[in-house]
Amino acid sequence: MTVIHNPSTLTTANLRREIAADIDGRLNQAANEASTGKKADPFRDLGSGSVEILSLRSGSIRLDGFMTSNELLGNRLEVMANTLTETRETLQGFLEAGVSFSETQQPIGSVLQESARAAYAQLATLVNTPYQGAQLFAGTENTGPTLQRFDEQNAGTGLSPEDVMAGIVGGGITDAADAMAKAADVATVFASANTVAPDTNFEATFFNGTPLEAAPGVPSPRQTALIDNGMVLEYGIQANDPAFRTALQGLAMIAAVDPSTITDPGAYEAWVGTAMEAVGDGLQMLEAAETRLGGEQALLSQTLDNQQVRAGLYERQLGVLEGVDPYEAANRVTLLSTQLEATYAINARLSRLSFLSYM
């Protein structure tokens, strides 16, 4: 005799609910894919091909990081370029105003000293302006204002640039030989080569930042940025570079001595002429630094353009792998909606059936 085991009412009801839940889950997934245009679970759909998605996503995230940091670096370089332009214009203005004072003493020679002090103060203001909380021209160190103002004491040495210059000039400039000797002492200080009184050196009292040399003959690391895979950009311009240092040397010489007080023509020509020549040399070197910075900006801009193209390629490739056909997804939504409605209807009818209904 054959015995037929009918499933219990509870088991049947649970089975119907599971079927409805499965259809509902697939409907929600299809609706999500239709609205987003992407597979709900691309790793399950692609199987072993999902490795490519992981690789593409990793590359895309890394590229986004480069692009973000490069945009910030581009802004930083733009501020540096603007500062260099303003610095050059300040020096150019000083030279144009003082060209008539270079070789012969003028009755209003003190005006040149005032102009030099004003130009020095303007350069300090420009160079010391921070960007995003950091000094632009201090190098890898950021310990305060990059340039010490001419009449302000440096906390590290207790001297101001004016104190250092006064120590060199002493009672003034007497003759041509005295002028040349004192100009040589100034050059030694600005080269940070005074071993007898190192606190008077440019990198001790005038400049607060990364020294040009970490040790004798060993250059200090410059500011650099990794702008792409294996691509490092060295972009650091420092206020102790020859361009700034030479121009400031000339300004400091005029700022420290009122040219109208130099009575000897030979001394006047030697001191003022040397100072104005230093400012002119610094201006030329500054223009060269601007050109180099422009090249770095161009390289960074080209790199960023290339990265934006690569980012588009990543996006398109991921779209191919993760994307769904919108028409196919819409059809699945329609089909699953119909199935779910039919399932709910059948479940509702079955739930109302009982033995008493047929007695």
Number of domains observed in the structure of the chain: 1
Quick one: which of 87, 59, 94, 110 has its CA closest to 262? 110
**What's the rounded Cα separation, in Å, for the pair 263 and 266?**
9
Has residue 343 been placed in a domain?
no
Element at 1 (helix H, strand E): none
Has residue 247 been placed in a domain?
yes
Each as own residue / partner, the long-range contacts of residues 168-171 (CB below 8 Å, 24 or more positions apart, any chain) are 168/256, 169/256, 169/257
Q: Determine contact, residues 157/199, Cβ cutoff 8 Å.
A: yes
208 lies in which domain range?
56-314
Phi, psi (rounded to 5 degrees) for 228:
-170, 175
Task: Tell me how far apart the terminal alpha carbons of the chain are, to the nearest angstrom.
Answer: 28
Element at 357 (helix H, strand E): none
Has residue 16 been placed in a domain?
no
Q: What is the CATH number of the domain that holds 129?
A: 1.20.1330.10
Cα 52 to chain centroid distance, Å, stands at 33
Q: Determine contact, residues 209/137, Cβ cutoff 8 Å.
A: yes
> What does each of the 359 residues of the chain score in pLDDT, given as a tens digit?
454 445 555 565 566 666 666 665 555 555 655 556 565 555 555 555 566 766 778 888 999 999 999 999 999 999 999 999 999 999 999 998 877 665 555 555 578 999 999 999 999 999 998 898 889 999 988 777 999 999 999 999 999 999 999 999 998 999 999 999 999 999 999 999 999 999 999 999 999 999 999 998 999 999 999 999 999 999 889 999 999 999 999 999 999 999 989 999 999 999 999 999 999 999 999 999 999 999 999 999 999 999 999 999 887 876 666 556 565 656 565 665 676 566 666 666 656 655 455 44
Distances (CA, A) of 175 to 170, 264, 270, 276: 13, 6, 9, 18
Has residue 111 been placed in a domain?
yes
